């Protein structure tokens, strides 16, 4: 009986501990970023693709899916452009459920601008 209680206590503790780090897939949070954050030094196109990557990664985590090929390719391109360390940093800061439109607004990106859309289509990732 003592072993049963110990096992039950262990499982309860494990569940409680894991819930403390659970990913919130229900409540959307505001995408708030300071004006002096380093992401503002990136090209607008790279900022756009960073937001899209974070959004796709969040959705995949919420759906408990493996990263798609599209997400993997985008991650590799972003690693090339901003570096693994910076990408990991931004993942730690911004992997949560957010409205992409508010993220674009927070970064000052006008995604409806025809010139910007053309730049996105022609964008080649390079070290920034």
For 9-47, how does the pLDDT look when each residue is reduced to its tens digit (9 = 90+)? 444 444 444 433 455 677 788 888 899 999 999 999 999
Burial zone of 20 (CB within 10 Å; 0-12 exposed, 13-18 middle, 19+ buried): exposed
Q: Kindly state whether residue 115 falls inside one of the protein's structural domains.
A: yes
User: 54-101, pLDDT tens digit by residue?
Assistant: 999 988 888 888 989 999 999 999 999 999 999 999 998 888 888 889
State how far the Cα of 56 lies from the Cα of 67, in Å rounded to an integer.
9
* Segment 105-128, tens digit of pLDDT: 999 999 999 999 999 898 888 777
In a domain, 16, yes or no: no
Q: Would residue 52 count as lying in a domain?
A: yes
Determine the pLDDT at residue 11. 43
Owning domain of residue 52: 32-122
In a domain, 19, yes or no: no
The domain total for the chain is: 1
Q: What is the four-CA torsion angle of 52, 57, 63, 66, rounded to 10 degrees? A: 130
- Return the pLDDT at 3: 56
Assess contact for 54 and 90: CB atoms under 8 A: yes
Indicate whether 61 belongs to any domain: yes
Whole-angstrom distance, CA of residue 33 vs CA of residue 103? 9
Distances (CA, A) of 108 to 48, 92, 93: 10, 22, 19
């Amino acid at each position: 009986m003592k072993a049963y209680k110990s096992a039950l206590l262990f499982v309860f503790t494990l569940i409680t501990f894991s819930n403390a780090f659970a990913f919130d897939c229900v409540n959307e949070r505001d995408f708030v970023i300071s004006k002096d954050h380093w992401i503002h030094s990136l090209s607008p196109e790279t900022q756009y693709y960073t937001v899209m990557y974070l959004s796709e990664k969040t959705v995949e985590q919420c759906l408990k899916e493996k990263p798609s090929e599209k997400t993997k390719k985008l991650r590799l391109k972003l690693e090339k452009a901003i570096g693994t360390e910076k990408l990991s940093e931004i993942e730690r800061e911004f992997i949560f459920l957010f409205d992409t439109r508010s993220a674009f607004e927070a970064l000052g990106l006008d995604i409806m601008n025809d010139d910007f859309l053309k730049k996105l289509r022609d964008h080649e990732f390079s070290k920034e």
